[in-house]
Amino acid sequence: MIHQHDVILIGGGLTGLRAALQIKEAGLDGAVISKVHPLRSHSVAAQGGMNASLGNVEGEGGIKDSWQNHAYDTVKGSDYLADQDAVELMCREAPRTVIELEHMGMVWSRLENGKIAQRPFGGAGFPRTCYAADRTGHNALHTLYENMVGREIPVYEEFYLTSLVIDEGRCVGCTALEIVTGEVHGFQARAVLLATGGFGRIYDRSTNALINTGEGTSLALEAGAQLKDMEFVQFHPTTLYGTNILITEGARGEGGILLNKDGKRFMEGYAPRTRDLAARDVISRAMEQEIAEGRAYPGGYLYLDLRHLGPDKIKERLPGIRQIAMDFAGVDPIEEKIPVQPGQHYSMGGVDVDMGGATSIPGLYAAGECACISVHGANRLGGNSLLETVVFGRLVADRIIEDVYSINFTEKEPIKTAMINMDIKIGNILSREEGEHLFQIREAMTRTMSQGFGILREKQDMQENLQEIKKLQKQLPLVSIQNSKRELNQALVRFLELEGMLLLSEAVARSAIAREESRGSHFRTDYPERDDINFLKHTLIDLKDDEMRVSYKPVKLGMFEPEERVY
Amino acid sequence: MIKVNPKIKVYRFNHEMESPDYDTFEVELHPGMTVLSALFQIQDKYDDSLAFRYSCRGAVCGTCAMLINKVPRLACRSQVEDLLKDKVPETVADEDISMAGEDISWNPQEEVLVEPLPHLPVIRDLVVDMELFFQYYRLVEPTFRPAGPDPEKERLMDPGAVKELGVYTNCILCGACHAACPVVGENPEYLGPAALAKLYRFYIDPREAEGDSRLEKGDIPNGWWACESYGDCYRVCPRNVPPIVAIRQAINQLNKWK
């Protein structure tokens, strides 16, 4: 079956839904495709908040926040790899974006005077992070979905993106697997927006939802788009030991502190001024060092102590964290310390796009975590990702609205061909009778990525692990799935996810090996210094004839000259 | 610590089968293992045709609600060991919450029984069709309708009002309450606790224009009035949302008018 819509939005998280509302507002026919019900998207799990220089809470000495301060913190946090024009745009748009969500009905936490509350966050010079207790993503996503329902915007739920269709150099639609029936559908569109989120599941310790497998990013690469800055993977300092569920930075924003085995507040030694609220890459590396030097608990964890905040503050500002600690670690933070360790959290890299979210393929756009525009550079600040999703969900939709007026639907043939090809591919996958186990390859991949491309990286080690990824890619076609039925075959979906993830793993690996310096989240033990002369530039990856190629392009500087990054 | 490996007894169904069946799998227990991770172990190692929904694995997205030992709960939040000891989470009453379904026996010392959510059609194994549930959600028109045009800045809100609203905005629409409610079981046209709690959330939002019309929306035989105050909705809710309180308060208000 071929469906036709002006705009296809792939992904039902904050970016996809915000864009869909904008497309509808412009009188165009947009439809969302999502591998899960939109409310199950990973945006729902975002805890701490959204940065905007509303200035509702004054900084130290009674100074009021401004978008310029926000931009400075973001660029410094990025270790100067963010494009400053994109950062400026995001920070200027931030206050309006928070208020726009409020106008749509989102419930934000409030100050006594009734204004939206703001809390301190890592790497930020002002209490800038607007929040809804520790369920900011939940409140935002439900609000956007409620607005979608009110406007009757169509959603293809539980449709898994299988390919992007390119005809004469232009993206004219996509194919997707309807998971429940197993049928391949075609989608014809005048523009396609990728909003598929991050790819954290290429690592074994990740805060990401199990669905965050990055197929939008890998399929864009296969379709001929370029990926940017893939080596920059964020490791969040505080993930719950055991399950790696996120413990928000807001917990430290509210006054929580990190302790090692000796009960010492170790961040004082690494970031004397900002201590537990230094940027995430700084804290994760400090924790890694504490672990390596034997000052952590067996198994490799440290403690986050919230007890001194008292029961009232914990219950009011961090109720979700308390629930998570009790449910998944059997620890009540009011009475006990929380065992934490660093874990993969965010993909700074993604599909290379211009300021309007356009990829190098006409008709194909990307926004949110799957894209790299780039506002986060080498390290993202907490509270900037929720902001990015909603700001660029709206702005990229505006760009699409402008662009599609000159674009007409073309013939359906290329879509039909793509559907037939996908159908044959799926048939082949399901007909293999003997072979490797899918989960063994997946586990080997996540282990390999954590070993070789974690917080600390080194050439020899990375090269060996890249070879391992290449080996796994070769084994993948030998995998057999026992269930040969088309209907609701989750093994099939997980196979397709794994295929894309192995490609993304290679992109991360090649980008990381080529960058012979340390910047933001990318730390090379063999090149421990930042090298602005040779590497103040974005890494690009493209795929031609099954070969990945690394190239570079300049960073857009502007208001802020690169300087040493001290917290 | 449990010495022997536990068993997971799973409901199986697909459209080629005349009637549902149960399969039992022995799983390798690790500390803190949840029912969701046990299901993944089965899918990975024993039977890749087993179907179940999942997403966040951290009890915030509402995807993996299922009937576990005859009580609707999130698979990602239910630990296998606790279930074996029959240590029921505090929010769930001791008595069997009259879960629908056939009489099926299982040994709670050694086995965990996992079935799909009741009151919704089964698509395959543990996957149910949530369409009816979301149809009622849409029916209450869950879209914010503000009083007056948007101001330049945010509308001001009293922190106390935010706290009260938070009780209901916390709902993750997992469907556990819908599955637990005996009234839903008897009367499939009842809007159910989740949809009514959502309606109430808009009714009490001080920024809304038309609180009263929100109340009236549920003033139908299958709305507020159909609730029989069992309270199972609150007892099974993984987020402590109390639909029963919302419904009782809505009814009190309507009674004042009449």
pLDDT confidence bin for B95, thresholds 50/70/90? very low
Range of the domain at B134: 130-257
Q: How far apart are the CA of B247 and the nearest CA of chain A, in angstroms?
A: 21
Residue B162, token pair as written in the block? 């935010």
Both B140 and B253 in one domain: the answer is yes
Residue B42 and residue A485 in contact, taking contact as beta carbons nearer than 8 Å: no
| Closest Cβ–Cβ partner in A135, A138, A147 for B143 | A147
Q: In chain B, which residue's Cα lies nearest the Cα of A106?
A: B144
Cα–Cα distances in angstroms (integers) from residue A260 to residues A227, A297, A431, in the given order = 38, 8, 53
Average pLDDT over residues A76-93: 98
Q: What six digits make up the tokens of B23?
A: 């399969």
One domain, residues A443 and A539: yes
Average pLDDT, chain A: 96
Query: B48-51 long-range CB contacts below 8 Å, 24 or more apart?
Result: B48/A438, B48/A481, B48/A482, B48/A483, B48/A490, B48/A491, B49/A482, B49/A483, B49/A485, B49/A489, B49/A491, B50/A490, B50/B10, B50/B12, B50/B125, B50/B126, B51/A488, B51/A490, B51/B123, B51/B124, B51/B125, B51/B126, B51/B127
Residue B106, number of CB atoms within 10 A of its CB: 16
- What is the pTM assigned to this prediction? 0.96
HSE value, Cβ hemisphere, 13 Å, CA-based, for A45: 25
Q: Which residue of A has its CA nearest to B202?
A: A105
Which residues of A are less than 8 Å from B165 in CB distance? Answer: 107
A312 at the B interface (CB within 8 A)?
A: no
CA distances from B82 to B9, B41, B75, B79, B109 (A): 16, 18, 12, 5, 10
Work out how many CB contacts closer than 8 A connect A with B.
Answer: 156
The reply to whether A243 falls in a domain is yes
**Are A63 and A50 within 8 A, CB to CB?**
no
Question: Among B81, B105, B127, where does a domain finish?
Answer: B127
How far is residue A34's CA from residue A43's CA, in Å, rounded to a whole number? 13
* pLDDT-above-90 percentage for chain A: 96
User: Is there a single domain that holds both residue B100 and residue B150?
Assistant: no
Give the strand pairing for A129-130 and A50-51: antiparallel
Q: What is the nearest CA distance from A44 to chain B, expressed in angstroms?
A: 6
Q: What pLDDT was estimated at residue B93?
A: 43
Checking if the pLDDT of A288 tops 70, the result is yes
Using the 3D structure, point to which of B127, B146, B163 is the last residue of a domain. Answer: B127
Query: Is the confidence metric ipTM above 0.85 for this complex?
Result: yes
Give B210's pLDDT tier (boundaries 50, 70, 90).
low
Nearest CB neighbour to B138, from listed A39, A149, A437: A149
| Per-residue pLDDT at B88 exceeds 80 | no
Nearest CA in chain B to A39: B61
d(CA A93, CA A394): 10
Residue B79 pLDDT > 70, yes or no?
yes
Range of the structural domain that residue A252 is part of: 237-342
CATH of the domain at B101: 3.10.20.30
With CB atoms and an 8 Å threshold, state whether B154 touches A487.
no
Q: Kindly state whether residues B94 and B138 are assigned to the same domain.
A: no
User: Residue B102: pLDDT band by 50, 70, 90 thresholds?
Assistant: low
The reply to whether A78 falls in a domain is no
Question: Which CATH number characterizes residue B167's domain?
Answer: 1.10.1060.10
How does residue B30 score in pLDDT terms, banded at 50, 70 and 90?
confident
Task: Render pLDDT for A95-110 as a digit per residue (tens, 0 to 9).
Answer: 999 999 999 999 999 9
Phi-psi domain of A168 (left: phi exceeds 0; alpha: psi -120 through 50; beta: other): left
Instruction: Report the residue of chain B nearest A486, measured CA to CA.
Output: B49
Examine residue B19 and say whether the peptide bond preceding it is cis (omega within 30 degrees of 0). no
| A379 falls within a domain | no
The verdict on B2 touching A (C-beta cutoff 8 Å) is no
* Residues of chain A numbered 3-22 and touching chain B (CB < 8 Å): none
**Lookup: tokens for A390:** 């909603």
**Interchain pair B154, A211: CB under 8 A:** no
- Is A490 within 8 Å of B43 when comparing Cβ atoms? yes
**Window 313-342 of A, Cβ < 8 Å to B:** 316, 320, 323-324, 327-329
| Amino acid B105: pLDDT | 86
What residues of chain B, 111 to 140, have a C-beta less than 8 Å from chain A?
123-124, 127, 130, 137-138
In the predicted structure, residue B96 carries a pLDDT above the cut 70: no
Residue B139 forms part of a structural domain: yes
- B185 shares its domain with B97: no
Tally of domains in chain A: 2
Q: Is residue A329 part of a domain?
A: yes
> Does the CB of A416 have a partner CB in chain B at under 8 Å?
no
CA distance A560 to A77: 12
Q: Which of A39, A146, A210 sits opposite B62 (nearest CB)?
A: A39
Residue B89 has pLDDT above 70, yes or no: no
Considering the domain architecture, whether residues B137 and B189 belong to the same structural domain is answered as yes
Partner residue opposite A44 with nearest CB, options B60, B130, B157:
B60
From the list A205, A252, A275, A280, the catalytic residue is: A280
- Which alpha helices (H) appear in A318-412, and where do they start and end? 319-329, 384-404
Q: Do B144 and A104 touch (CB under 8 A)?
A: yes
Which B-chain residues 62-91 have CB contacts (< 8 A) with chain A? Answer: 62-63, 77
Q: Are residues B162 and B121 in the same domain?
A: no
Same domain, B16 and B99: yes
Determine contact: A482 vs chain B, CB below 8 A: yes
Domain presence at residue B102: yes
Whether B44 and A243 lie within 8 Å, measured CB to CB:
no
8 Å CB contact of B143 and A44: no
Smallest CA–CA distance, residue A60 to chain B, in Å, is 24
pLDDT value, residue B101:
54
Q: Tokens 């080690």 — which residue?
A: A461
Residues B178 and B231 grouped into a single domain? yes
Q: Would you say residue A60 lies in a domain? A: no
Residue A249 lies in a domain: yes
Q: Which of A89-103, B166-180, B201-215 has the lowest mean pLDDT?
A: B201-215
- Based on the fold, state whether residues B22 and B134 are members of the same structural domain: no
The closest alpha carbon to A14, from A98, A118, A91, A84, belongs to A98
Evaluate if residue A398 carries a pLDDT over 90: yes
Answer yes or no: do B159 and A112 touch at CB < 8 A: yes
Q: Do B106 and B170 belong to one domain?
A: no
Query: Do B154 and A490 lie within an 8 Å CB cutoff?
Result: no
- Residue B1 in any domain: the answer is no
Please report the pLDDT score of residue B91 as a whole number. 43
For residue A293, what pLDDT is reported?
95
B43, B206, B184, B186: which is closest to A488 by C-alpha? B43
* Percent of chain A whose pLDDT exceeds 70: 100
Whether residue B32 is found in the same domain as residue B118:
yes
Asked if pLDDT for residue B94 goes beyond 50, the answer is no
* Residue A280 a catalytic site member: yes
Query: Is residue B92 predicted with pLDDT exceeding 80?
Result: no
Q: Quick check: B183 contacting A, CB < 8 Å?
A: no
Q: Say what the pLDDT of residue A43 is.
A: 98
| B140 and B108 part of one domain | no
Residue with tokens 């975590």: A369
Asked whether residue B2 is assigned to any structural domain, the reply reads no
A428 three-class SS? helix
Count of domains for chain B: 2
Question: Mean of the pLDDT values across residues A362-373?
Answer: 98
Confidence of residue B109 (pLDDT cuts 50, 70, 90): confident
DSSP A549: E
- Residue A387 belongs to some domain of the structure: no
As a whole number of angstroms, the distance between CA A274 and CA A286 comes to 13
Pick from B127, B162, B197: which residue ends a domain?
B127
Pairing of strands B122-124, A2-10: unpaired
Tell me which of A338-352, A456-470, B82-96, B99-113 is least confident. B82-96
DSSP state, A246?
B
At residue B212 the predicted structure's pLDDT band, cuts being 50, 70 and 90, is confident
CB contact under 8 A, A243 and B150: no
Whether residue B202 is predicted with pLDDT greater than 90 in this model: the reply is yes
Residue A114 resides in a domain: no
